[in-house]
Structure 1
């Protein structure tokens, strides 16, 4: 674990692997996890390029998030941390909330994005308000929320070790930070921002995702000119953990194709 200061006087936690001259790859986690969810990707992509997974303010090893923190504040903090680490431009991969933040990051600084990989996410969720309200109510007991939520996140039958990891990670999240993250993701309305994306974009989704169903990925892809939509067979909402080899291969092929252009 490492921490880096941002221009806002706070520090973000991050994990890093790899190096070299290739364009770095940045990973952004979902509302119910932290940077640790990206370990399979750090292990894989760290062999060929600098690869970094960040915690948002209030999550993991980052400083607490002030009340009123927004998705745009998350994006600004990630951008500041990238620059503090000497990263002016990166491939940016976000899952669920991470995808929402990746879209916000591109809106704030398009030149910082070599490409976007938007996994199991959306421009706007039709049931977002209801999910947000349920998330806030359940956040009073994060361990109970984690135990009750895990089977919706993973396609059955879930690997026992992956299931335990998802529960343990979610149970550790500070309830106040989780509520900020829940607002950032579930109340997002970024259709106009998605339409304005001008970098190569891959939209990924588990074909058995019931949290952000494939229809939302197809809708997102239709908003982004020239984007590619890919489904991961047999994966739920957390394809990077459920099917890491497939998840990594699809991203690797996408990045390789666009770095050759």
Structure 2
């Protein structure tokens, strides 16, 4: 589905119980990583449906089926997009799950729309822009800007996202995610990368009064365990869990482990 907005549209899907009980079923809202789309959560949808949840998945601006929106994206603006979709669908509160930039904009959503959340699960993310962000993101953005595509980023990104063991174990899924990276529109990638380079929620996270679980792959170099533990230490009462033998996409590389953690967390707050 596409939610029309002035000058653009946001792509989403909402699936779950189709009978009269649907309105009473809790909603789990997912937001994806940079250069990905809602398809990165395919492994999580079936167990959530089996457990009686409704599942709402969003595509960020300029990703998947969502249109880009100018050049200057902010985490606050991306978080507001989540609230806009919830308003349009008449959904009061959700359990939110986001990975990478999905966890970053999820922090903005939690800080600015706390009442819309029953809980938050932030995965493989950071509480602020990384040190030396310009040096890290500058070359990637320049490459995309000059070529107009993400083709050259496909291989290096997959190396950061998955351990070497994943491709031979699941080559079709590896290829699917690789293809999503290289077909991500340049405008969406560049806009969201700008948002990653300019945010800092560290001063505000201690003010949150919300159940928060932070999850990270133990081998994630881009958004390392130390930064995820830092988020958990900043939010009062937050918890941290680590997934072994995983890099940036533990939900895909080790879905059984991730789903066990996810369902345990959600079931305790249903």
Q: TM-score range by the shorter chain?
A: over 0.9
Pairing 1:23–2:21 present: no
Pairing 1:168–2:168 present: no
Pairing 1:199–2:210 present: yes
Structure 2 counterpart of 1:179: 190
Q: Which residues of 2 match residues 78-157 of structure 1 at below 5 A?
A: 78-124=82-128, 125-139=130-144, 140=147, 141-157=149-165
1:167 deviation in Å?
1.1
1:189 deviation in Å?
1.3
Q: Which runs of 4+ in 1 moved over 6 A?
A: none
CA separation in 1, counterparts of 2:249 and 2:237?
25
Does structure 1 retain, via aligned residues, the 8 Å contact 2:73–2:194? no
Does structure 2 retain, via aligned residues, the 8 Å contact 1:30–1:95? yes
Does structure 2 retain, via aligned residues, the 8 Å contact 1:34–1:169? yes
CA separation in 2, counterparts of 1:189 and 1:155?
29
Does structure 2 retain, via aligned residues, the 8 Å contact 1:131–1:186? no
CA separation in 2, counterparts of 1:249 and 1:23?
18
Any stretches of 5+ residues in structure 2 without a counterpart? none
Structure exhibiting the larger radius of gyration computed from Cα positions: 2
CA separation in 1, counterparts of 2:63 and 2:121?
22
Structure 1 counterpart of 2:61: 57
Does structure 2 retain, via aligned residues, the 8 Å contact 1:16–1:42? no
Deviates more, 1:19-28 or 1:198-207: 19-28
Pairing 1:41–2:51 present: no
- CA RMSD in angstroms, aligned pairs only: 1.6
CA separation in 1, counterparts of 2:264 and 2:251?
15
Deviations 1:143-184 (A, max 9, x none): 111122211111221232232122100111111210111122
1:127 deviation in Å?
4.0
Deviations 1:79-126 (A, max 9, x none): 111111121100011100000000001122100011110000010223
1:129 deviation in Å?
2.9
1:9 deviation in Å?
5.7
Any stretches of 5+ residues in structure 1 without a counterpart? none
| Aligned mate of 1:246, from 231, 234, 257 | 257
CA separation in 2, counterparts of 1:186 and 1:146?
21
CA separation in 2, counterparts of 1:220 and 1:134?
27
- In structure 2, relative to structure 1, the CA distance for the partners of 1:154 and 1:127 (3 Å cut) is farther
CA separation in 1, counterparts of 2:155 and 2:7?
35
1:54 deviation in Å?
0.2
- TM-score, with normalisation over the residues of structure 2? 0.90
CA separation in 1, counterparts of 2:136 and 2:90?
37
May I ask how many residue pairs the two structures share in their alignment?
257
